[in-house]
Amino acid sequence: MQTFIEEFGFIWGAFLATLSLTALSGILALVAGTVLAAFRVSPIGPLRTFATVYVEIVRNTPLTLMFFFWVFVAPAFGFVFPQLGFWPAIVSLSIYTSAFVCEAMRSGINSVGIGQAEAARSIGFTFGQTLTQVVLPQAWRSAIPPLISVLIALTKNTSVAAGFAYTELTASSQRLMNANPVDGLWIFFGVGLMYLVITIPLGVLAGRIEKKVAFAR
Amino acid sequence: MSSESSVLYDAPGPKAIRRDRIYNIVFTLGFLALFGYLAYRMYQNGIFDERWLVLTDPPKGQSAGDVWHSLLARGLVATLTAAAIAAPIALLIGGSLSVVRRGATGRVLSGSAAVTTELARGLPVLLLMFLAKLVFGWSPLWSVVFGLVVYNAAVVAEILRAGLAALPKGQREAGLSIGLSPMRTTVLIELPQAVRIMLPALVSQLVVLLKDTSLGYIVGYQELLRVVKLNRDYFGDYYLVPLFFVGAIIYILINLSISRLAIWLEGRMRRSKHVAKKDDGSSAMHEGGAEAKRYAANTGYGTGGTPGP
């Protein structure tokens, strides 16, 4: 308890680091994942194949392996980050999360009634118009709960950055636990609470939206 | 693929077929050019030079057998060991939690089961592993197992809860009406059916568990990724690419085959008539149906694939 209070400034900085990782890679993954989802339902074969292969590979790769690639392996390919820590974490988390965003979006697209797309087509909309003006606005709604679940997973996944030279919440707890093993349990509860402060409101929000969407159907 | 997405665009006429063919060629060429360029860049960086010999004829007086032995017999076996210990324990605890949450008559008992699952689900697995390692002072293997068990037990409990909620009400009523206690109704009547409905989600969760064993790399457990790193430390950074390549292929192949198993199970289940059907229609069931869908969407597989009503 003592340590947690004394070191609160340090932990607060780490909390902000976790938040910024979550926010930035969340936005990037959202954009990339939406584009991938559009690829996956597009009429153009090569785009579908590309998105499918990308999602299958990324989803079956451990996140630690992804971090390992960008930190240790990428330099051999000529990609060198100006500094370790933040940017490799952002790249790894964005790529990893985009595959899950794509799947959430795709399930949202599939949940839109067939009649909607048929109606759009019957008044002469092209694929692009059908997707952007009729299907996606509705798909978004039912995709939001799974997207929030993806975001919750992302919040927890930022902890992997602790193993690759970035001091976020889990890395800070590791350092404090090492220095004060007696206070370890309190540090764990304190840091755990800071994760829950992010994840539980998101979960509640997802539940609310889910109920609303359920009524709208 | 085509059956679920073709609703978004018309069956192509002669003009559209011609246009699509052009798009196909253009994008295929585009991707080929992109990959060709990337391969060329790799070639220029020397990715395809004699560093691959580390897999067949490694330097420093080691034999290829030594390298492969370390990767497979040490690394892969350690990865699979952690998963094989953690998976059954997580299943057992998760199953018990879901049963207590549904079957217990006391509010306190079922409430505390609910709180436990929520908390365990909201914490990063790595933080749990650090707790076991640095505070409890456990060995790396058991720290990894601890993290995997706590998190996955909570997720299994949630999956089974969704399965239990999706069962037709009559199942529970029938159990109670023949004089079984609520707990025994849950265990004997509902749980077996819930497990069957949620089997694809449970198998998909196995992929998550297996992927998370790689967090052992960070807490000092010598699993596959750590062995790749140790080999690189021994042979030098020059040889990292082929070693990493082998590790990545192993992970992806194992996970892909488990994912395929989940998809196959789900397809089989949809065709089978013996499974209690999830009933999305009635309002009492909707919660469960939605929950099951959310899980399916999360893990990427499952009922989310079918188009809506």
Domains parsed from chain A with CATH numbers: 2-216 (1.10.3720.10)
Distance separating alpha carbons of residues B266 and B301, to the nearest angstrom: 9
Contact B298 A150 (CB under 8 A): yes
B255 touches chain A (CB under 8 A): yes
Per-residue pLDDT tens digits for B194-240: 998 888 889 989 889 999 999 999 999 999 999 999 888 888 888 88
In chain A, residues 46-105 whose CB comes closer than 8 Å to chain B: 46-48, 50, 52, 55-57, 59-65, 68-69, 72-73, 76-78, 100, 103-104
B118 touches chain A (CB under 8 A): yes
Q: Give the nearest partner residue to A73 out of B30, B41, B241, using CB atoms.
A: B241
Q: Which residue has the higher pLDDT, A137 or B148?
A: B148
Burial (Cβ within 10 Å: 0-12, 13-18, ≥19) of residue B43: exposed
Provide the residue type at B91 as one letter.
L
**In terms of CATH, what superfamily is B51-305?**
MetI-like (1.10.3720.10)
Complex ipTM? 0.88
Query: CA of B131 to nearest chain A CA: how many angstroms apart?
Result: 7
The answer to whether residue B43 scores a pLDDT higher than 60 is yes
- The answer to whether A38 touches A56, Cβ cutoff 8 Å, is no
What is the predicted pLDDT for the residue at B6? 62
For chain B, the structural domain boundaries read 1-48, 51-305
Q: What is the pTM of this model?
A: 0.84
Q: What band does B62 get if pLDDT is binned at 50, 70 and 90?
A: confident
**A96 CA: distance to closest CA in chain B (Å):** 12
pLDDT in tens, A2-14: 777 778 888 899 9
Alpha-carbon distance B105 to A165, whole Å? 49
CA angle B89/B93/B97 to nearest 5° reads 165
Between the alpha carbon of residue A108 and those of residues A55, A70, A111, A127, B57, the distances in Å are 16, 31, 5, 17, 51
Asked if B257 is an interface residue toward chain A (Cβ–Cβ < 8 A), one would say no
| Angle formed at CA A153 by CA B302 and CA B257, multiple of 5 degrees | 45
Nearest to B175 by CA among B188, B160, B162, B166: B188
A-contacting residues of B 267-296, CB under 8 Å? 286, 290, 293-294, 296
User: What is the DSSP code (8-state) at residue B10?
Assistant: P
- Backbone conformation region of residue A133, classed left if phi is above 0, alpha if psi is from -120 to 50, else beta: alpha
CA distance B266 to chain A (A): 16
